[in-house]
């Protein structure tokens, strides 16, 4: 990621208000929910946007004075829990294995964020991105698909439409996968933010976990999307349905496969997909 491709005129300090582990303490995957507050002025953002985090260097590997990474905003536009000056992000602590030495190294930005204590300040820039956004029309149908921290923008979407907009008339579907039930962020025993909406008539959430988590097998998104392909296919053919895919790229492939299977052929899906893209009703936020 090239730091200089991003507009840094909005560079500012943000204070860590709270940091909470949202995967259980005994789970090897650590994901944290951080609530931040820009120090000087209010930051205007909308759901689906990301902030840039700059880790002060020097960093030998990347050769930059700062190490720059993007994180999706997980709170809706009126702020975390209605506090207008705050916003949240959800960060997975990353490690990587060096090809040559075989040693495990911590990812720079994710560890910087996961180690940050309440009261510390970090440098942020943005918000960035505008295509991945909630439709204005509350009768629109929304299909959201993601794994892992890809849930962050969808938490913001769901909170915005049910809490800030006061409800949604269109159908809302969330397909979400994680390695284990406890890694289903915001839907596990640690945080239940998204389970709160299960009772509303328009919202349905579907969850997939890995069939063999100990062998690092990914969540079974393919099966989940296949099982619900008929209803989703009916939805995506409607002129007011919006599709969003976030997180790792596998769910995008799984979704395409499920749609082709139910459409009957690749060209039949392509025709619908083209229309979704041309009309600005299909957006991906993959990393
Ligand atoms: C639009 C967008 C939204 C995102 N949203 C989120 C989010 O909500 N939550 C989240 O957790 N993540 C999110 N990400 C991912 C995030 O930006 C980072 O990529 C991730 O946290 C890893 O960054 P890092 O600085 O910790 O790791 P890095 O230090 O950048 O390491 C990442 C990779 O760099 C390479 N590398 C680094 N150091 C070395 C080395 N010494 N030798 C060899 N290779 C090396 C490795 O391939 C490694 O896998 C998002 C990404 C994008 C693009």
Express each pLDDT in 251-282 by its tens digit: 999 999 999 999 999 999 999 999 999 999 99
Residue 84 and residue 164 in one domain: no
Distance 112 CA to ligand 1 centre (A): 11
More confident residue, 131 or 33: 33
Q: Is the pTM of this model over 0.85?
A: yes
More confident residue, 287 or 58: 287
Give the residue, by CA position, lying nearest to ligand 1 atom 27. 107
Distance 111 CA to ligand 1 centre (A): 10
Give the residue, by CA position, lying nearest to ligand 1 atom 4. 71
pLDDT exceeds cutoff 70 at 64: no
Cis amide linkage into residue 13, ω under 30° from 0: no
Distance 190 CA to ligand 1 centre (A): 25
Residue 134 covered by a domain: no
**Domain stops at, among 79, 95, 128:** 128
Which residue range(s) make up the domain with 246?
141-286
> How would you class 46 by CB atoms within 10 Å of its CB: exposed for 0-12, middle for 13-18, buried for 19 or more?
middle
- Average pLDDT for 168-180: 93
Residue 48 covered by a domain: yes
Residue 67 and residue 182 in one domain: no
Residue 279 and residue 146 in one domain: yes
Q: Are 16 and 131 in contact (CB under 8 A)?
A: no
Residue 16 covered by a domain: yes
Cβ atoms < 10 Å from Cβ of 101? 8
Residue 135 covered by a domain: no
Residue 185 and residue 154 in one domain: yes
Residue 29 and residue 149 in one domain: no
**Domain stops at, among 75, 105, 128:** 128
Question: Whole-number mean pLDDT of the chain?
Answer: 91
């Amino acid at each position: 990621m090239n730091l200089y491709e991003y507009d840094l005129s909005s560079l500012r300090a943000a204070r860590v208000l709270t940091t909470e582990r949202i995967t259980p303490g005994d789970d090897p995957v650590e994901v944290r929910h951080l609530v931040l507050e820009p120090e000087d002025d209010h930051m205007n953002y909308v759901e689906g946007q990301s902030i840039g985090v700059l880790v002060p260097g020097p960093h030998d590997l990347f050769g930059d004075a700062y190490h720059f990474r993007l994180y999706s905003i997980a709170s809706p536009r009126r702020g975390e829990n209605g506090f207008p000056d705050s916003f949240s992000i959800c960060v997975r602590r990353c490690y990587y294995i060096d090809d040559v030495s075989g040693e495990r190294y911590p990812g720079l930005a994710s560890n910087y964020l996961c180690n940050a204590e309440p009261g510390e300040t970090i440098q942020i820039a943005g918000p960035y991105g505008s295509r991945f956004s909630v439709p204005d029309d509350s009768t629109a149908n929304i299909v959201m698909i993601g794994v892992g921290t890809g849930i962050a923008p969808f938490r913001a979407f769901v909170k915005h439409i049910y809490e800030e907009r006061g409800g949604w008339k269109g159908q809302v579907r969330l397909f979400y996968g994680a390695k284990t039930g406890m890694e289903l962020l915001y839907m596990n025993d640690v945080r239940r933010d998204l389970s709160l909406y299960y009772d509303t008539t328009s919202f349905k959430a579907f969850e997939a976990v890995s069939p063999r988590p100990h062998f690092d097998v990914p969540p079974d998104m393919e099966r989940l999307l296949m099982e619900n392909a008929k209803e989703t296919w009916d939805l995506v053919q409607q002129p007011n349905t919006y599709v969003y895919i976030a997180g790792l790229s596998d769910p995008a492939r799984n979704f395409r496969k499920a749609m082709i299977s139910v459409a009957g052929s690749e060209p039949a899906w392509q025709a619908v997909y083209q229309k979704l893209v041309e009309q600005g009703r299909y957006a991906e936020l993959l990393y």
